[in-house]
Structure 1
Amino acid sequence: MSEFNYQGLFAERAPITTRGANRHAKYDFAVAYPDPDTLPLTGLVEALSTALEREGRDLAYYPVSAGYPPLRELVADKLRRDRQMDVTADDIILTSGSGEAINMLIQAMTDPGDVLLTEEYVYLGTMRQMRLWGANVVGVKCDDDGIIPEALDETIRAQEAAGRRVKFLYTIPTFQNPLGWTATLERRQRMLEVCQSHGVPILEDDCYVDLRFEGEDVTSISSMDDSGQVLYTGSMSKIIAPGVRMGYLVAPEMVRERALSFKSGGVNQFAALAIEEYLRNHMYDHIDEENQALRAKRDAMLAALGEHFGNRATWSKPEGGLYLWLTMPEGTDLAGFQDQSFSEGVGYYSGSMFSPEGNGRHMARLCFGHPTAQTVSDGIAELAAIFERNGIFQGK
């Protein structure tokens, strides 16, 4: 028989996506992977063994759609303690990473042509999902303190004047991806006030908040809101490992009921058992260990940039997270040079990949989480050498 032809049967929004093996340059600063040496492998195995002995027979049942109740209770306890949020386990849905939570909300709240606001540079995975479901993604001007409130107000007014519906503002206020800054308390308050005045919900993505190794925590936007206008998502991928695929959504009941319509079922109960048992006993000790390692790598990248880039570029100095933001002089085409740099041994993502408008070709995100501190230093030296021999420093 000839091969069946599916042409003409695919949904209009179904893009062609190839799933080959992830490529890595010799020095990989492109993807925000965590430190593999701090993965709590032994602790997770021991935690899983304990949890399975206690309630492993319950794996015979399908998990509840909102996810393993004890883990939701642990998340609620953590949010009350660390983010000053008045939540219970019933307010929380466990998801396959924070990405699933975001995608559920995009699908539940977005019709084709609706406007979704983001920072002027935004995590590319979220931007892709927004566009997949037909959203018009609009960036809002930022500075080192976060989204500029006046720019947010002007952007919303402009969209309303054009007859376009703004469904929500998506923001990463702590260690923003890719810019690296943390929004100040004043900016968070003003952002909320602007959105309240226009009736625009906020989706606060706090997935990096635990990765602070310098400075003082800033309370969540959600803690300032008592009306349910702020939706919240977080992740355990950053404090344990991306491979565990565990995140969570905090939202009012009306939103949770709609969002669950776009979830196929409960999260992996096997993983949830191990995560809950491990974090219940070791969470803050593990976070401290991880952050000590990340600080050393951040410092290695800052020192190497100072030595090898000098006054030929500027860069952010994040107080946490997994990356910093490199800015070359206007006219430098880091976007066009990205593949060449990868082929010569150093991977990065250009700024234009994070911009809804395609800006930032002279900018790049550099991730320091996965390599060793020495590898970070060597890789930045190699990136400078690549730029030198290809004329990038001269803007050619």
Structure 2
Amino acid sequence: MSEARKIRVLIVDDSTVIRRLLTQVLADDPNIEVVGTAPNGRIALAKIPNLKPDVVTLDIEMPEMDGLQTLTELRKIDRKLPVIMFSTLTHRGAEGTLDALERGANDYVGKPANVGSVTEGIAKVRGEMVPKIKGLCSWFQDHLQLARATQRSAQASSGPEATGLGNALLDSCSSPTFRRTPKQRVDVIAIGVSTGGPNALAQVLPSLPADLPVPVVIVQHMPPVFTKHLADRLNTKCSVTVAEAKAGDSLQPGTVWIAPGDFHMTVKAVGASHRVVLDQSAPVNSCRPAVDVLFQSVASNFGPGTLACILTGMGSDGLQGCRDVAKAGGHIIAQDRETSVVWGMPAAVTNAGLAHQVLSLQRVGAELTKHAMHGRNKLTLVKSGA
């Protein structure tokens, strides 16, 4: 990374301790510069025009102007400045964070709690905050992609043997092939999503009809507590029933199950039905729940009847799972770059040539419905409690 430019971060938090902790965490990274701090939203908004930050970290509970008020005012003047909420992992913190995401925040990181030492707390924040800052900074991501492309070009031109390898790498990363499979009956929809996921799901799931003839299973990268609040919120907005999954739940048409935070979710055939299985085995791709774990299980159980959908998110969780879905004969939809908050997870699947369709977020719900309805007579389902 060139010394000429670093990611400029503004830290907004009423706690002096938190401001110092975050400043220390971020200052240790050579690609990040803390250009300012503010104890409340009013001061932060006044500083933004002069500091010109690339990313803002924002507390929720602050005097004078809290995080939600700050975000509302910020989005009136700047729709694109990335904002990461730095909130407590509590019921109240979860509600506030989901409110912030609805108002235009891009992501969130939980404040350290119940950790053994300050050093452990700093390491935890660093492991979550730094990748999210870098992932949300578009010019930094463009720089990384250019550097990788340059490296691949250098490898490709270093000799006959390397040329073949380099071209293969270039082909796999920049020239995806979109294979179309014959239309077939879909028996389950599996969705994987991370950064930007709550808002993406809030657009996709309400477009699914109450008579959707298949179950939907979802991994959204979120900590415990948050997934229950997310499911409850989505349930009020959807015709389908949305719930946080519990071990033993039977997959039913017209119902959506979201994996609970800190648990992998898989499915298991029990007689003529399929049931939810939860476990706390080791994280996969540093995630629990992990998209790969869910997709691999669904592919194994439903084979060519699997419809996998990979939405906005950092990293490549879901890539191996989509490989398994493809091998099983299932269909794969990926969100496009233009409508993704972070085109990481869908990019990994698309660039590997696994996506049968690459769609804008606005088209995903209708396409999922079309695939699910194919080959079926319409059912009449009534949302429980309606």
The two structures have a TM-score, normalised by structure 1, of: 0.29
More strand, by proportion = 2
Q: Which has the higher contact order (CA 8 A, sep 6+)?
A: 1
